[in-house]
């Protein structure tokens, strides 16, 4: 009886984790109303796949089963990269957003989230951040909606097509900022730096895949193609430097 109870508990815990993951993925692109059926919405609006470091799809790998935390311990070129396509409600062949898992280090421990890019592959449609042990009221604010909404409509590329990412500033002043900056979090500079590295590095990792999509969908001037250079990592697998050259697709 005890064994059956333990099995049942593990199954319920697994179902709860699965539901939470789906809610976070969808949360990068939409808000929920009370009573929304997350599983049904996910099944209708999300098409998932996994790509390798070259941007090629990996057959037989389920995106929802990829453990991003375990993957993070591998060298970037050895990882599996899930992609969640948010499709039109009435046309599953029309992709409205590309949702990318991101992962990194905060001040005290791991931080992670989902970054949603609009169909132009430049504009941020939304983000979801979470953490394991950031300081309440300071770095832990990355999980607050108010912080996450600062990223909406920010741009990854400048007007010349160069990849510049989006940077959270050190200070929190409430100023109107340009397309590549968001207001900071007072007293949480180290966590903000971790978020900045996380976004920059993971968008860089996904560049081979994004470039393939750009080549299919975009005109040369609209979609910059980034040549991914050498990625240097330390002995723990944490990316410390990313060297890349940007150019406009031809």
Range(s) of the domain holding residue 147 = 2-248
pLDDT one-digit tens code per residue, 154-186: 999 999 888 999 999 998 988 778 999 999 999
Number of domains composing the chain: 1
pTM: 0.84
SS3 annotation, the chain: CHHHHHHHHHHHHHHHHHHHHHHHHHHCCCCCCCCCCHHHHHHHHEEEEEECCCCCECCCCCHHHCCHHHHHCCCHHHCCEEEEEEECCCCCCCEEEEEEEEEEECCCCEEEEEEEEECCCCEEEEEEEEECCCCCCCHHHHHCHHHHHHHCCCECECCCCCECCCEECCCCCCCCCCCCEECCCCCCHHHHHHHHHHHHHHHHHCHHHHHHHHHHHCCCCCCEEEEEEEEEECCCCCEEEEEEEEEECC
- Asked if 115 and 94 touch (Cβ cutoff 8 Å), the reply is no
pLDDT score at 243: 34
Q: Which of 81, 86, 153 is nearest to 123 (CA)?
A: 153
Which token pair is 163? 């990849």
pLDDT one-digit tens code per residue, 60-79: 999 999 999 999 999 999 99
């Amino acid at each position: 009886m005890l064994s059956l109870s333990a099995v049942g508990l593990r199954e319920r815990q697994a179902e709860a984790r699965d539901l939470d993951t789906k809610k976070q993925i969808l949360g990068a692109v939409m808000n929920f109303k009370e009573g929304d059926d997350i599983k049904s919405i996910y099944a209708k609006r999300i098409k998932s796949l996994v790509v390798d470091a070259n941007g090629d799809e990996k057959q037989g790998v389920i995106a929802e089963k990829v453990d991003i935390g375990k993957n993070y311990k591998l060298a970037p070129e050895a990882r599996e990269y899930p992609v969640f396509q948010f499709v039109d409600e009435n046309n599953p062949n029309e992709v409205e957003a590309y949702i990318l898992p991101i992962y990194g280090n905060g001040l005290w421990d791991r931080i992670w989230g989902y970054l949603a890019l609009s169909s132009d592959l430049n504009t941020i449609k939304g983000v979801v951040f979470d953490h394991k042990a950031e300081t309440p009221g300071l770095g832990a604010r990355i999980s607050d909606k108010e912080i996450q909404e600062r990223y909406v409509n920010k741009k990854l590329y400048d007007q010349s097509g160069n990849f510049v990412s989006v940077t959270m500033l050190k200070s929190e002043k409430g100023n109107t900022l340009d397309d590549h900056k968001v207001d900071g979090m007072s007293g949480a500079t180290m966590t903000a730096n971790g978020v900045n590295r996380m976004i920059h590095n993971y968008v860089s990792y996904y560049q081979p895949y994004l470039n393939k999509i750009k080549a299919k969908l975009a005109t040369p001037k609209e979609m910059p193609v980034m040549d991914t250079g050498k990625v240097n990592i330390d002995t723990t697998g944490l990316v410390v430097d990313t060297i890349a050259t940007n150019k406009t697709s031809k």
